[in-house]
């Protein structure tokens, strides 16, 4: 309204007078973000110097850990889910409505932070074998946290099913305060659309549309699908490559069209948990968010836990970049792809979250930097 506008104007004028600078006020206010939600998206694209120099390719990584609410790409998804629900009248800000979600951590942390900012409650169900930093953070953000044993998707206590059931219980119980919403990151369109409208266009703009390949792991698949759907429309020649940890069926899905390796006997198929120390990527079922972009994936690269751990150390040692397990998997796959394509190509990947969130699990597997493991060559990391 008019009186509020004039107050802002006065403040701006006052500031200008005080600093004696005559730059336009609009320019100054551009740098001021509207709450924590304003700090989501527009993340930097970093040229990873060591990997670029070693391969002769340009290896660029989108620093998604610099999203400012929950410090991962899931900030984009959480905000997209909440805004879509608000538009549909399923959530009302500052009403005390409760958002339920099944997550290995990142989505829960992003939801919990944005819930605080918008006056919602967060109820998070997660597997109990994830790094404790994630559940600790969730509790500090005031989320209700249920940690459950990892279980196959057919089990009603599997973390995603449990969250869906908790939301249904809430909705069915007239004594519960406010509405209950199941965020449903694996199946909701709001997930891949956040990357289709955010991450993808940002990569296109930041590279000026000059890139040869995009490499990413997939948990829900939202990042890979959303980015691929946007970039492939602009750049039909772009190579989209899945980075996949051990035990995940997605590699086989891309390579052979089925979730299990046809060379393996029936009895050896993995039906439960993904068998890796890596958190957040790799899955053994087809989600909507993977399905919607799966035809755009050209190839898949398997990355072992040892390779991921060695790459995480390499990035600290050479570049001062301290990341978590899925980022390390992405960088191994991007470097392997650079070797396949040969020098002169530009490859974009993602740094999803900080190593600080993985100190007690993924990073607990390494000696302190500066020890005897530090002279490893890139070729020994890549196993070539």
Instruction: Note if 176 is an active site residue.
Output: no
The enclosing H or E element of 348 equals: strand 346-351
Report residue 61: phi and psi, to 5°.
-130, 130
Phi then psi for 54, rounded to 5 degrees? -70, -30
Task: Please report how close the Cβ of residue 288 comes to ligand PMP at its closest, in angstroms.
Answer: 12
Q: How far apart are CA 48 and CA 318, in angstroms?
A: 9
C-alpha distances in angstroms, 319 versus 68, 99, 306, 311, 349? 22, 38, 19, 11, 16
Q: How far is the CB of 218 from ligand PMP (least distance, A)?
A: 4
Q: Which of 15, 33, 49, 74 is catalytic?
A: 74
Smallest CA-to-CA distance from 238 within 217, 218, 209, 216 is with: 209
Residue 170 or 249: the one with the smaller Cβ distance to ligand PMP is 249
Q: What's the min distance (Å) between Cβ of 172 and ligand PMP?
A: 28
> Which residue's beta carbon is nearest to the bound ligand PMP?
280
* Minimum separation from the CB atom of position 107 to ligand PMP (A): 6
Instruction: Specify which residues 216 forms β-bridges with.
Output: 242
What count of other Cβ atoms lies within 10 Å of the Cβ of residue 272? 14
Q: How far is the CB of 94 from ligand PMP (least distance, A)?
A: 28
Nearer to ligand PMP, 54 or 126 (CB): 126
Torsions phi, psi of 244, nearest 5?
-130, 135
The nearer residue to ligand PMP, 54 or 350, going by C-beta atoms, is 350
Smallest distance, ligand PMP to C-beta of residue 75, A: 11
Contacts of 375 (CB under 8 A, 6+ apart): none
Query: Between 67 and 220, whose beta carbon lies closer to ligand PMP?
Result: 220
No. of helices (H) and no. of strands (E), the chain = 15, 10
Compare residues 221 and 249 and give the one whose CB is closer to ligand PMP.
Answer: 221
Q: Which of 362, 379, 303 is nearest to 51 (CA)?
A: 379
Residue 210 is encoded by which pair of tokens?
A: 């000059």
Whichever of 54 and 130 has its CB closer to ligand PMP, that residue is 130
| Min separation Cβ 384 and ligand PMP, Å | 25
Q: How many Cα atoms occupy the beta-carbon half-sphere of 1 within 13 Å? A: 1
Tokens for 96, please give them: 């005390």
**Residues near ligand PMP (CB under 6 A):** 72, 104, 106, 217-224, 279-281, 324, 326, 352-353
| Dist. CA 373–CA 116, nearest whole Å | 42
Q: Is 236 helix (H, G, I), strand (E, B) or coil?
A: coil
Q: CB burial class (10 A; 0-12, 13-18, 19+) of residue 206? A: middle
Residue placing its CB nearer to ligand PMP in the complex, 180 or 222: 222
User: Mapping DSSP to helix (H, G, I), strand (E, B) and coil, where does residue 346 land?
Assistant: strand
Q: Are 277 and 305 in contact (CB under 8 A)?
A: yes
Which residues are marked as active site? 74
């Amino acid at each position: 309204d008019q009186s509020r506008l004039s107050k802002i104007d006065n403040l701006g004028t006052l500031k200008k007078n005080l600093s004696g600078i005559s730059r336009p006020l609009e320019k100054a206010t551009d740098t001021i973000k509207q709450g924590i939600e304003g700090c989501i998206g527009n993340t930097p694209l970093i040229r990873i110097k060591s990997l670029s120099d070693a391969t002769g390719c340009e290896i660029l990584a989108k620093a998604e850990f610099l999203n400012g609410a929950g410090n991962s790409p899931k900030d984009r998804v959480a905000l997209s889910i909440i805004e879509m629900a608000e538009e549909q009248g399923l959530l009302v800000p500052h009403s005390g409505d409760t958002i339920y979600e099944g997550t290995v951590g990142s989505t829960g942390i992003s939801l919990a932070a944005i819930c605080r900012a918008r006056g919602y409650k967060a109820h998070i169900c997660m597997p109990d074998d994830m790094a404790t930093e994630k559940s600790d953070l969730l509790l500090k953000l005031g989320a209700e946290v249920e940690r459950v044993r990892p279980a196959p998707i057919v089990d009603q206590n599997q973390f995603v099913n449990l969250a869906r059931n908790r939301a249904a219980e809430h909705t069915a119980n007239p004594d519960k305060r406010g509405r209950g919403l199941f965020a449903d990151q694996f199946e909701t369109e709001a997930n891949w659309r956040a990357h289709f409208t955010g991450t993808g266009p940002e990569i296109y703009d930041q590279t000026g549309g000059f890139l040869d390949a995009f490499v990413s792991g997939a948990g829900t698949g939202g990042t890979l699908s959303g980015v691929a759907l946007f970039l492939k429309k602009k750049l039909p020649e772009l190579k989209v490559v899945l980075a996949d940890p051990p035990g995940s069926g997605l590699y086989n899905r891309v390579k052979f069209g089925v979730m299990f390796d046809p060379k393996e006997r029936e009895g050896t198929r993995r039906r439960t948990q993904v068998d890796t120390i890596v958190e957040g990527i790799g899955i053994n079922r087809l989600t909507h968010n993977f399905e919607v972009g799966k035809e755009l994936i050209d190839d898949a690269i398997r990355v072992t836990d040892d390779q991921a751990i060695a790459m995480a150390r390499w990035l600290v040692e050479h570049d001062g970049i301290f990341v978590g397990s899925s980022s390390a998997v992405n960088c191994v796959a991007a470097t392997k792809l650079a070797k396949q394509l040969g020098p002169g190509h530009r490859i974009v990947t993602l740094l999803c979250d900080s190593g600080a969130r993985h100190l007690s699990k993924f990073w607990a597997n390494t000696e302190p930097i500066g020890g005897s493991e530090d002279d490893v060559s890139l070729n020994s990391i890549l196993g070539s």
